[in-house]
Structure 1
Amino acid sequence: MTTTTPSPSATSIATAARTIGLTKIFGTTDSGVTALDAVDVGIEVGRFTAIMGPSGSGKSTLMHCLAGLETPTSGQVLLGDTDLTRLSDKALTLLRRERIGFIFQSFNLLPMLTARQNVELPLTLAGRSVDRERMDRIVTVLGIQDRLGHRPSELSGGQQQRVAVARALVTGPDVLFADEPTGALDSRSSTQMLSFLRSSVREFGQTIVMVTHDPRAASYADRVLLLADGRLAGELHDPTEDSVLAAMKGLGE
């Protein structure tokens, strides 16, 4: 039996994104695999939410649907008031570029560009001007203001990591998604990454959703959503590493 608390009603919180009856089946509906089974969940504005669950629980699929990277089999996914399930592929591409940020395990920095150019790249592609005040705040919080003229090959792994975070934040996305962002990092770099993410919530009011298998990483979040067998199994508020471990044990992890 888990030690989680029940999910609050989606109407009781301000949400940046939410799902309604979200179902995702891979393969045919008769013989396919149900990754998500009628999931209702709200992502709180200006909060750091972690998604956890045993392998095969549907946590990555939930994030991909929220981010518009996967098409639901049924149900709705809303970013603010925008129903992603009603958008064309072109409209989804524009929405992801303009309203969603991503951080992946690999930093995906372009080697021929300077750190500054890498950070500003999403704005360049979107034809948007750089908000210099926001840019200055981000690079100051991340401590890379004196490294912006350097190319990735001239930066340490930790500095490259910070550039990737700055790039995700500079557009002011409605939601920033982080997919196992500490999975390829050593302990020190992992701690730095998680601290940067938490600081971006505190400093910029950023909404963050992180998929992780690491209870320590999840303890940096304000809230942990727990999935099991494609369904929401509970949640934790103000989690600690111990409370996450206990909850995961209750799910059979």
Structure 2
Amino acid sequence: MRADETTMGEAAVTATDLTRVYGSGDGAVRALDGVSASFPRGRFTAVMGPSGSGKSTFLHCLAGLDQPTSGQVTIGGQDLTRLGRTARARLRRERIGFVFQAFNLLPVLTAEENITMIAHLARRPVDRAWMTQLVARLGLADRLDHRPAELSGGQQQRVAIARAMLTQPDVIFADEPTGNLDSRSGTEVLRFLREAVQTENASIVMVTHDPKAAAYADEVLFLADGRIVDTLAKPTVDEILTRLRRISGPE
């Protein structure tokens, strides 16, 4: 499946002709320039590109964290771009999971309280059976009463993943999820994300600069100058590096 084609199955998230312009006049910066992409359910997609390519802006617009200048983002049949701030926040709580580079855990809460926080904010009952399964698979069963400062970086990111997955959202957005981790912890996180796609039909869109991380995805979408310039299915590290060199051009 090419990212700019309509998917055969139901899409978890769809972007149509997205633009994002910062500033105005001669100083305007076009971070996104007419990007269209559809991400199917049960698929792991990595988004890559040179610095300034628009990949983080793209993720933030898809997730409703930033409002595009024009275009449309649809999640669960709802157009995010037509929702007000309160409605967008509600949709994020109910239908989207987030995993960030900096973990974004609340330091005063225990691991368990951090995991269940979004469910409580969305006023949804916590599925205790699903939570028990999640924390067991993530190796957190004996860490639930620990606060973030008492956990390693890898454990904190696994808490963030459990939080993102607890409500079984339509899509999980991951922004450089291994950026603050050592290679062993990063590999554990990526293996779990890969497993979640295969066993739970999770839909994951991940921004990363790391070809090794992107190789865990089903497909890599490459951005440059705010546009999709290439896609790569069933990627390998060597293939990703070759595409990145081609996009970046000679130094």
| Band of TM-score, shorter chain | over 0.9
Matched, 1:10 2:9: no
Question: 1:208 is matched with which residue?
Answer: 204
Q: Distance in 2 between matches of 1:124 and 1:8?
A: 36
Question: 2:124 is matched with which residue?
Answer: 128
Q: Distance in 2 between matches of 1:69 and 1:6?
A: 25
* Number of positions where the alignment pairs a residue of Structure 1 with one of Structure 2: 249
Question: 2:91 is matched with which residue?
Answer: 95
CA deviation vs aligned residue, 1:67-101 (integer Å, no higher than 9, x gap): 00111111111113111111011100111111111
Q: Distance in 2 between matches of 1:132 and 1:69?
A: 29
Name the SS for the 2:50 alignment partner.
coil
Greater Cα shift, 140-149 or 167-176: 140-149
Give the alignment partner of residue 75 of structure 2, picking from 79, 82, 91. Answer: 79
1:203: Cα distance to partner? 2.3
Matches within 5 A, 1:1-253: 7=3, 9-28=5-24, 31-252=27-248
Greater Cα shift, 172-181 or 143-152: 143-152
Distance change in 2, residues 1:37/1:239 (3 Å):
same
1:150: Cα distance to partner? 2.4
Name the SS for the 1:197 alignment partner.
helix
Percent of residue pairs identical: 57
**Which amino acid counterpart does residue 184 of structure 1 have in structure 2?**
N
Structure 1 unaligned residues grouped into runs of 5+: none
Q: Distance in 1 between matches of 2:4 and 2:114?
A: 39
| C-alpha contact (below 8 Å) 2:7/2:40 kept by paired residues | no
Greater Cα shift, 134-143 or 209-218: 134-143
Normalized against structure 2, the TM-score is what?
A: 0.94
1:186: Cα distance to partner? 1.2
Q: Distance in 2 between matches of 1:52 and 1:247?
A: 10
Structure 2 unaligned residues grouped into runs of 5+: none
**Which amino acid counterpart does residue 206 of structure 1 have in structure 2?**
A
Name the SS for the 1:37 alignment partner.
strand
1:155: Cα distance to partner? 2.4
Q: Distance in 1 between matches of 2:63 and 2:52?
A: 19
